[in-house]
Structure 1
Amino acid sequence: MDAILSNLKIQVNEKIYVKDPETSTLGKKIIQESIILIDEIGFEDFTFKKLGERIGSNESSIYRYFESKHKLLLYLTSWYWGWIEYRMVFSTSNIADSFEKLKRAITIVTEKIEDDNNTLHINEAILNRIIIVQFTKTLLTKEVDEENNEGFFMVYKRVINRIIECIQEVNPEYWYAKSLASSIVEGSLHQHFLKDHLKSITNYEGNLSPTDFYLDLVQKVIRK
């Protein structure tokens, strides 16, 4: 799978960016360093001016790729969910047992992320930390309906829809497949946040993780 992933280009809605950052060395540097900088100082304090100083380039050069830091965050989150989708597809392909397929899909979206070394300019482990803390900022805006109509969240919804399909394969009569699937994806981010910052209201001690919780949940909720 790693060999295949290394040759893949994650597709991001072209309306999110002004110029595709994957087409130039500067663009890739913008992506690489923005991930590191957002992780270090938070999205609220992140600015294109600070990013420009970090990469040794004019602030105006960043605007040639993204019209705002909101659009940059949309790009990063879209890329992340595209990467998750590819991993999910390869992990669940040719799996005959429907529950095993569901378990693999849930594991992909809930497990702790490690850098896969296939995308040298993107550290997926750091990007995952950004998604855990910042992803809801792409959704909780007044422009969410307009951006949804533009297809900005299409990949995110595809990830959820793949889990919905897996749930329906296991139990076609389960009525809440959509709500369960979206709760797993969104809830796992929140559980990782609690595990890292508010440990007293989680059960993740020792080797336990959000993946264990969600696998146990679906086992008890939908398994016939």
Structure 2
Amino acid sequence: MRNLPIHIAISPDLYTKNPDSSDLGRRIVCTSIEMIDELGFEAFTFKKLGSRIGSNESSVYRYFESKHMLLLYLINWYWSWTEYQLAFAVHNIESPREKLEKAIRIFTQKIDVDNSFSHINEAILGRIIIAESSKAYHTKDVDKENEKGFYKTYKRLVKRVSEMILEINPSFEFPHMLTTTVIEGAHHQRYFSEHLPALTDFEEGKNNIVRFYTDLVFKAIENR
């Protein structure tokens, strides 16, 4: 994609020690992505992670207090990276429609590896977001965590796209609902295409998911 020295800043509330500050921390993040994708979040443990990286379980806890916090870190990294992609894609674009089209494409297209970040495989992380991210906020502590700002990156991204929608139709009543429908719905369609294909109209090479949500958004906002 782009070979630039980009740094993704993550809230320090999500980690005990910044994993980006050391080689071990970066290996913890990189290997945890691979293992969550391989095992699933429920079967993934810090003990297994420590064994895989040739360290002990306690070394992982120096960076993250729990695997739930690690998942929140990964999710926040992904949405911060997506926000960076969006800002880059719409830079210097004047047309509100073109900006929104690019935003929809970023949310709905197949996720590729971004070579700007050597220790993060965005394609694998994207699969985790699709399959596991809802487990981060479908918890009893979601309201407390929301108050602490654990979901602010995702909310900021949704707000930004909602404002693009209102640029096109200032009277549109449901910009946030439409934005989250596109994001979460596209995740479902990607998941269905891999595991439950009878539930989707995905066809390899036809970009159906991008086309469907682009059509859905503009019909919704322009028909009102």
TM-score category of the 2 structures, normalised to the smaller one:
over 0.9
Q: How many angstroms apart in 1 are the aligned matches of 2:147 and 2:55?
A: 34
Q: How many angstroms apart in 2 are the aligned matches of 1:68 and 1:100?
A: 41
Judge conservation of contact 2:166–2:172 (CA < 8 Å) in 1.
Answer: yes
Give the match for residue 171 of structure 2. 173
Give the match for residue 19 of structure 1. 17
Give the match for residue 221 of structure 1. 220
- Matching residue's letter, 2:96: S
Q: How many angstroms apart in 2 are the aligned matches of 1:150 and 1:209?
A: 38
Aligned residues: 222
Give the stretch that moved more between structures: 173-182 or 28-37.
173-182
Q: Alignment partner for residue 161 of structure 1, among 159, 162, 167?
A: 159
Q: How many angstroms apart in 1 are the aligned matches of 2:188 and 2:62?
A: 34
Q: How many angstroms apart in 2 are the aligned matches of 1:62 and 1:25?
A: 12
Cα distance, 1:208 vs structure 2: 3.2
Give the match for residue 130 of structure 1. 128
Q: How many angstroms apart in 2 are the aligned matches of 1:157 and 1:186?
A: 13
Judge conservation of contact 2:30–2:121 (CA < 8 Å) in 1.
Answer: yes
Judge conservation of contact 1:77–1:135 (CA < 8 Å) in 2.
Answer: yes
Per the alignment, in what secondary structure is the counterpart of residue 146 of structure 1? helix
Q: How many angstroms apart in 2 are the aligned matches of 1:90 and 1:24?
A: 28
Q: Alignment partner for residue 203 of structure 1, among 201, 204, 208?
A: 201
Q: How many angstroms apart in 1 are the aligned matches of 2:31 and 2:101?
A: 34
Judge conservation of contact 1:111–1:209 (CA < 8 Å) in 2.
Answer: no
Q: What RMSD, in angstroms, separates the aligned Cα atoms of the two structures? A: 1.1
Judge conservation of contact 1:102–1:166 (CA < 8 Å) in 2.
Answer: yes
- Matching residue's letter, 2:130: I
Q: How many angstroms apart in 2 are the aligned matches of 1:81 and 1:122?
A: 13
Cα distance, 1:209 vs structure 2: 3.2
Give the match for residue 187 of structure 1. 185
- Matching residue's letter, 1:148: N
Give the stretch that moved more between structures: 147-156 or 179-188.
179-188
Give structure 1 stretches of 5+ with no counterpart: none
- How does the TM-score come out when normalised to structure 1? 0.96
Give the match for residue 85 of structure 2. 87
Q: Which runs of 4+ in 1 moved over 6 A?
A: none
Give the match for residue 64 of structure 1. 62
**Identical amino acids, percent of aligned pairs:** 50
